[in-house]
Chain A
Amino acid sequence: MNKIIKYVITDILRNKIVVIYTVFLLAASFSVFSLEDNSSKGRLSLLNIILIVVPLVSIIFSTIYMYNSVEFIELLVSQPLKRRSIWLSLFAGLASSLSIAFFIGAGIPVLIYQANMIGFTMILTGIILSVIFAAIAFLATVKMRDKAKGIGAAIMLWLYFSLLFDGLVLFLLFQFADYPMEKPMIGLSALNPIDLSRILILLQLDVSAMMGYTGAVFKDFFGTSTGLVFSFFVLLSWIVIPVWYSTRKFNTKDL
């Protein structure tokens, strides 16, 4: 299993896209931090970059990489290797190289300018988001044989998680404006890893006070250690469930 991970990582590192991604993150983080004298303002701009760019790059790159590796996967499957370990090694290789790219690109500047609890939460959620969206990409590639369809599905999934979902939540909020929606909102936020990450980071900032009563309920829940454990568990299941399901599908897939 380790052998395959090694080959996947060397292959990805040879790929210039990941290097460009790292350099882009580095440039973006250093520029937002040095733009203002107050680095906490830069932190907020960086948050938006993390929540939009990281899932996008993660899901699109993983999907395209998987479709381009069809030959490699076929070659491996005809060798004395377990299918499960082929799939999991590919996932481990991809997820770890994306996480490393994120850590170098955004993690190091954050550590330089904001080495506190908020900085650590940002780095952690960024890494978790990279892994989650690689897992979702694996789900898309195992389901769809056609490359164009698969990449289309990946883009739609990203659009859904970063834009459409918020629209749906707003719609629900307006429809049920007469009812107390604060508690169900906590449950709803678990359905979207990006939202959950955003809440986790915002609650560490003072701006959560501006979110009104919902913000207070959130603070009440996510601010506690049970809330933290809950959200960590939810984020973890966003990794485990897609990986588990795609592995199961891959085990019986015809190549």
Chain B
Amino acid sequence: MITLKNISKQFGKLKVLDNVSTSCDKSECIALIGPNGSGKTTLIKSILGMVIPDSGTITFNGKDISNNYQYRDEIGYMPQIGRYPDNMTIGQVLGMMKDIRGKSGELDEDLIKAFSVNNLLNKRMRTLSGGTIQKVSAALAFLFKPSVLILDEPTAGLDPVASELFKEKIIAEKDKGKLVLITSHILSDLDDLVTRIIYMQDGKLVFHKSIEELRKDTGEERLVKSIAQVMVSNYE
């Protein structure tokens, strides 16, 4: 579904992505894991076209994404730190996004209901807490029934109840045949979600394997422990 070929990106002298190649298929829930500054967010932003790689190609459903924008219709993106125009209310942001996407009919409002966003429609974005903004971002990512969900640190600011509801939603969407790309440092959250792991370090893709393979290779049953083992062995 998404194929990356030899993606490299440099910010000044810093090599953020170094020759990354991989592919992601549907009905998978892929976790992007790696230490801080390993290039996870840059990789996600390259897929979204927000960062333009210095070299390499990214294809989405077989089509090159450079100079293309329609493919983003198929993507729901939840940013690490959701930032919205300060003066707009939640209702206006939701309305604007519906207007931009041009889909008013079949919307997936499960998360809006689950997070009771409807009670907050008149609140201005600048008055919201970090967790509430995360809820809005999450609701927006799922709203337009995209076939790919890209979630950058989704559970970081959510309370335990919301986080549980959110995980249930992710599993439900994956079972519907969608591709879910997720980065998180809270590995215990990922344990019952993910089917594959991409491990990144210093802009390089260290491995991309299924969770069963990882368990077999490290001999650990729990994701937390297997990743901890990988991280320690890669840590200098």
- Which A residues are within 8 Å of any B CB, using their own CB? 3-4, 7, 11, 14-15, 68-72, 74-83, 252-255
Contact = CB atoms under 8 A, between A and B. Distances in A.
B45 A255 contact: yes
Given A71-B83, A78-B49, 15 more contacts: A3-B100, A4-B100, A7-B96, A74-B50, A74-B79, A75-B85, A78-B72, A78-B77, A79-B72, A80-B71, A81-B69, A82-B69, A254-B11, A254-B45, A255-B50
Contacts, number: 61
Contact of B84 (A14, A75, A82): A75
Contacts of A79: 72, 97, 100-101
B121 interface: no
Nearest to A83: B69
Given A252-B52, A255-B50, A80 B85 contact: no
A77 B48 CA distance: 8
Contact of B69 (A69, A72, A80): A80
A69 B85 contact: yes
Contacts of B79: 74, 78
A76 B72 CA distance: 11
Given A71-B84, A75-B84, A78-B79, A3 B99 contact: yes
Nearest to B66: A252
Contacts of B96: 3, 7
A212 to B, nearest CB: 53
Interface in B76-104: 77, 79, 83-88, 96-97, 99-101
A75 B51 contact: no
Of A70, A80, A82, A252, most buried by chain B (CB within 10 Å of CB) is: A80
B126 to A, nearest CB: 11
B70 interface: yes
A216 B105 CA distance: 67
Interface of B: 11, 45, 48-52, 69-73, 75, 77, 79, 83-88, 96-97, 99-101
B99 A71 contact: no
Contacts of A69: 85
3 pairs of A and B residues whose beta carbons are closest in the complex: A71-B83, A80-B73, A80-B72
A77 B85 contact: no
B51 A254 contact: yes
A74 B69 contact: no
B52 A254 contact: yes
Nearest to B42: A254
A71 B85 contact: yes
A78 B87 contact: no
Contacts of A15: 87
Contacts of B85: 11, 69, 71-72, 75
Contacts of B48: 77-78
A232 to B, nearest CB: 34
A205 B101 CA distance: 53
27 contacts: A3-B100, A11-B87, A11-B88, A14-B87, A68-B86, A71-B85, A72-B84, A72-B85, A74-B79, A75-B83, A76-B100, A78-B48, A78-B49, A78-B75, A78-B77, A79-B72, A79-B97, A80-B70, A80-B72, A80-B73, A80-B100, A80-B101, A81-B72, A82-B69, A83-B69, A254-B45, A254-B52
